[in-house]
C-alpha cells in the first residue's frame, strides 16, 4: 500500500518538513483555513508532490479522526508532521489551550493508534515552553498523562489561573513536550517514534504577527542578544526534523529538541537573563 504523510498546519515550517520526507508518498494537508490550506497544497502539487487538502480543526477530535480516516483511505500512515497552532497575538487563552494543548494531545493519541510500524512523527512546539517557572513533578505528570478529554478540566489550566495569552501559550508548549514523552510509550508499542521540536524565532507569517504585535520590541531585543544574532528559517527546522524522523534518528523518541539560536541559553546564562535584562521581565517570554 502507498505510504501517507499527514501534515497539520499549512505553514512554512510544516511545508519545509513535508518537502524533505514526502517524496513518493501521499501527502494529506490538514488546516482549518481553507484558503491557506488550498494555497499550500497547490504549491506542493506544483512542486511535484502528491498532495491533497482536507479541512481540519485541531480543536475537534471528530475533525481529527475524519482527517485520519481520509489519510488511511490512501494507504498506511507513515509520518505525522504537526505544525498547527495559534500564537499569543492571534487568539484567546481558551483558544490557545483548546488548539495548542488539547488538540495536539488528541492528534498524537489518535495517530498513535494507527501509525505504521516503523513510522515517525514530530510536533512543533516552541522555545516559549522553556522560559516559564517550573510546574513541579505532579503538574508535569498531569500534563503528560491526564486523559485527553479531561486535560482542560485541570485546575491550573483554568483561565482564571492563567495570567494572559502568553502564559497560556507557555503552558501549552510545556504540555506538548510532556505529552510527547508520554505518547512515545504508546507509539513504541507498534513500534513507531514521536518527538517534539521547539523552534525559536523562525521567519514565518506567524512570527511576523508577533513582531508587529505588542511584544515586538521584546522579540527584536531577543534576536539582537541571542548568540546566533538572527532569526531562523523554516529549512533549518526541516533539516532537524528530517534527521529526527528518518533512519538516522531511529534511536530518538520521546524527546524535545530546542532550535532557537541560543536564545534560551542567553535567557538563563547570558545577556537576556532577567536579572541583567529588564526587557525579559515581561512574562518570562
pLDDT of residue 114 exceeding 60: yes
Asked whether residue 248 is assigned to any structural domain, the reply reads yes
Average pLDDT estimate for 145-159? 97
pLDDT of residue 132: 86
CATH number of the domain at 165, please. 3.40.50.720
Distance of CA 99 to CAs 85, 174, 261, Å?
Answer: 6, 14, 26
Asked whether residue 279 is assigned to any structural domain, the reply reads no
What is d(CA 240, CA 195) in angstroms, rounded to the nearest whole number? 11
Give the residue numbers marked as catalytic. Answer: 169, 173
Average pLDDT estimate for 83-87? 91
Asked whether residue 270 is assigned to any structural domain, the reply reads no
Mean pLDDT of the chain: 93
Q: Over the stretch 251-264, which tens digit does the pLDDT of each residue have?
A: 999 999 999 999 99
Asked whether residue 220 is assigned to any structural domain, the reply reads no
The boundaries of the domain holding residue 58 are 2-201+232-261
Global pTM value = 0.93
Q: Which of 17-31, 112-126, 217-231 has the lowest mean pLDDT?
A: 217-231
pLDDT of residue 284 exceeding 50: no
pLDDT of residue 285 exceeding 60: no
Q: How many domains does the chain have?
A: 1
Amino acid at each position: 500500500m502507498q505510504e501517507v504523510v499527514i501534515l497539520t498546519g499549512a505553514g512554512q515550517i510544516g511545508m519545509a518538513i513535508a518537502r524533505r520526507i514526502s517524496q513518493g508518498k501521499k501527502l494529506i494537508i490538514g488546516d482549518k483555513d481553507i484558503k491557506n490550506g488550498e494555497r499550500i497544497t497547490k504549491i506542493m502539487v506544483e512542486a511535484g508532490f502528491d498532495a491533497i487538502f482536507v479541512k481540519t480543526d485541531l480543536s475537534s477530535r471528530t475533525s481529527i479522526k475524519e482527517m485520519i480516516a481520509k489519510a488511511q483511505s490512501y494507504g498506511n500512515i507513515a509520518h505525522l508532521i504537526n505544525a498547527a497552532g495559534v500564537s499569543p497575538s492571534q487568539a484567546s487563552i481558551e483558544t490557545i489551550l483548546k488548539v495548542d494543548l488539547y488538540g495536539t494531545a488528541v492528534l498524537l493519541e489518535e495517530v498513535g493508534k494507527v501509525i505504521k510500524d516503523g513510522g515517525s512523527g514530530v510536533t512543533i512546539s516552541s522555545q516559549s515552553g522553556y522560559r516559564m517557572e517550573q510546574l513541579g513533578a505532579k503538574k508535569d505528570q498531569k500534563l503528560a498523562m491526564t486523559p485527553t478529554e479531561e486535560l482542560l478540566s485541570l485546575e491550573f489550566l483554568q483561565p482564571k489561573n492563567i495570567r494572559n495569552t502568553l502564559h497560556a501559550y507557555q503552558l501549552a508548549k510545556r504540555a506538548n513536550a510532556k505529552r510527547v514523552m508520554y505518547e512515545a510509550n504508546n507509539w513504541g508499542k507498534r513500534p513507531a517514534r514521536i518527538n517534539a521540536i521547539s523552534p525559536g524565532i523562525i521567519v514565518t507569517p506567524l512570527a511576523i504577527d508577533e513582531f508587529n504585535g505588542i511584544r515586538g520590541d521584546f522579540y527584536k531585543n531577543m534576536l539582537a542578544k541571542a548568540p546566533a544574532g538572527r532569526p531562523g528559517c523554516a529549512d533549518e527546522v526541516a533539516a532537524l526534523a528530517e534527521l529526527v524522523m528518518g533512519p538516522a534518528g531511529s534511536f530518538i523518541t520521546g524527546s524535545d529538541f530546542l532550535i532557537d539560536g541560543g536564545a534560551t541559553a542567553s535567557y538563563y546564562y547570558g545577556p537576556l537573563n532577567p536579572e541583567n535584562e529588564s526587557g525579559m521581565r515581561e512574562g518570562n517570554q
